[in-house]
Amino acid sequence: MECQVSQQGDIVRFHIKGRIDEAGAERIKQQFKCLHLHLIRQLIIDLEECSYIGSSGIGKLLLFYKHLAGHNGTLSLEKVTPAIGDLLKELKLDTLFEISPA
């Protein structure tokens, strides 16, 4: 799994390529921790090239959401594939953050 991070002001974008398994989830968590978290108002995660997200990845999304919500920030997922989108909707995560299809 690869994760490219870019920041423009208070908006951070993660572009994830590959599978978010347990090791991948830990990598994106470490990337998140390296940011100036108190300055972030919006985290956008681009999942266009993500082929899989496991329970560890779901847990990290919830961790990011909780942190951002506590600082008046938002989390959104964009370019979500149908399979991942269906999983996120089944888990009702679309009620917590915005999910835009591919």
Domains of the chain: 2-101 (3.30.750.24)
pLDDT of residue 35: 86
pLDDT of residue 26: 95
pTM for the full predicted model: 0.93
How many separate helices (H) and strands (E) can be counted in the chain? 3, 5
CA nearest 86: which of 60, 49, 53?
A: 53
Judged by phi (left if over 0) then psi (alpha if -120 to 50, else beta), residue 35 lies in beta
pLDDT of residue 31: 92
pLDDT of residue 37: 77
pLDDT of residue 43: 96
Contact of 63 with 93, CB cutoff 8 Å: no
Q: What is the mean pLDDT of each run of 10 residues along the chain (102 residues)?
A: 93 96 95 86 96 96 93 95 96 95 88
C-alpha–C-alpha distance, residues 66 and 4, integer Å: 22
Cβ atoms < 10 Å from Cβ of 72: 7
